[in-house]
Amino acid sequence: MLSIDSLRVTYGGAVEAVRGVTMEVPDGKVVAVLGSNGAGKSTLLRTVSGTLRLHRGRVDEGSVRFDGDVLTSRDPGQIVRQGVVQVPEGRRIFGRLTVEENLRAGGMGNRDRAAKAAAHARVHDLFPVLAERSGQRAGLLSGGEQQMLAIGRALMASPKLLLLDEPSLGLAPRIIGQIGEVIAEINRQGTSVLLVEQNATMALGVADLAYVLDVGKVSLSGPAAELARTDEVQRLYLGHGDAAETGPATRGPRRTLSRWTA
């Protein structure tokens, strides 16, 4: 389980991006973090993955623990080896490398050959398009395929907990639905997920639990289905002016996997 306790994070000693956040990701669950631009969502994920320092950020207070181990004093490589792997905002795939080389890069720290082979098979099974385009330069993939590659690359490290930073960013609604289905399937296969999203329909459709971040603080939290019914989430994140007039909570992605082929 991931436990974030009373976390405060600043950038350059000035901007306080996370202001006392307490949050949990229980084993086997999908937890969504919603919030508008600048709410501190990426900062939260960077803190968990140990990449905060690369962005000149610092933990001022609080802690992040995974299965009891304190992550806040670990470097990113150690955190990956503990089973916590981030898919960064904006995908950050290696455009000049092939699809296969990108996947291999994701598995580099994974010294267990059998685990790596199993991870590779899992990625090809989840995303057949990555097998089909194996020798193609990653930069030539569509936006949705690049997001799949970014997720596949992270899965190559056999994560226990996958951190996703706005996987829906810039993608068409149909593709966002497929991303949601893939997240549900990855979770069904046993990987916990911390999903940062601005697309509340997708996130709440796939998540068990959810938190709303507002300028660095948790303003709401609870079971995803309950949060989807609150006025605040309806109004701010689901685009409904009046919660009382809306029908069934969310139309999230179906919890079945449709193969990723296009």
Ligand X SMILES: Nc1ncnc2c1ncn2[C@@H]1O[C@H](COP(=O)(O)OP(=O)(O)OP(=O)(O)O)[C@@H](O)[C@H]1O
Q: Using CB under 6 A as the criterion, which residues of the chain lie in contact with ligand X when the complex forms?
A: 11-12, 15, 17, 35, 37-43, 55-56, 89, 198
Q: How far is the CB of 23 from ligand X (least distance, A)?
A: 14
- Helix, strand, or coil (residue 209): strand
> Does 191 interact with Mg ion (rule: CB under 5 A)?
no
Scan residues 61-90 and list those touching Mg ion (CB under 5 A): 89
Determine the Cα–Cα distance for residues 262 and 260; give it in Å rounded to an integer: 6
- Contact between residue 227 and residue 233 where contact means Cβ atoms under 8 Å apart: yes
Determine the Cα–Cα distance for residues 8 and 60; give it in Å rounded to an integer: 5
Q: How far is the CB of 137 from Mg ion (least distance, A)?
A: 27
Q: How far is the CB of 185 from ligand X (least distance, A)?
A: 25
> Does 168 interact with Mg ion (rule: CB under 5 A)?
no
Q: Which CB, 41 or 120, lies closer to Mg ion?
A: 41
Q: How far is the CB of 211 from Mg ion (least distance, A)?
A: 15
Tokens describing residue 206: 């796939």
Residue 24 pairs in a beta bridge with 3
Q: How far is the CB of 165 from Mg ion (least distance, A)?
A: 6
Q: 215 in the Ramachandran plot: left (φ > 0), alpha (ψ -120 to 50) or beta?
A: left
Among Mg ion, ligand X, none, partner that 173 touches (CB below 5 to 8 angstroms by kind): none
Q: Which CB, 180 or 216, lies closer to ligand X?
A: 216
Q: Which CB, 119 or 194, lies closer to Mg ion?
A: 194
Q: Which CB, 58 or 81, lies closer to ligand X?
A: 58
Among ligand X, Mg ion, none, partner that 168 touches (CB below 5 to 8 angstroms by kind): none
Closest CA to 68 of 10, 18, 1: 1
Rounded alpha-carbon distances, angstroms, from residue 153 to 90, 130, 165, 221:
14, 10, 14, 30
> Does 51 interact with Mg ion (rule: CB under 5 A)?
no
CB atoms within 10 A of CB 69: 13
Q: How far is the CB of 8 from ligand X (least distance, A)?
A: 12
> Does 42 interact with Mg ion (rule: CB under 5 A)?
yes
Query: Shortest Cβ contact with Mg ion: which residue?
Result: 42
- Helix, strand, or coil (residue 151): helix
Backbone angles phi, psi at 114, to 5 degrees: -65, -40
Helices then strands (H, E): number in the chain? 10, 10
Residues that bind Mg ion (CB under 5 A): 41-42, 89
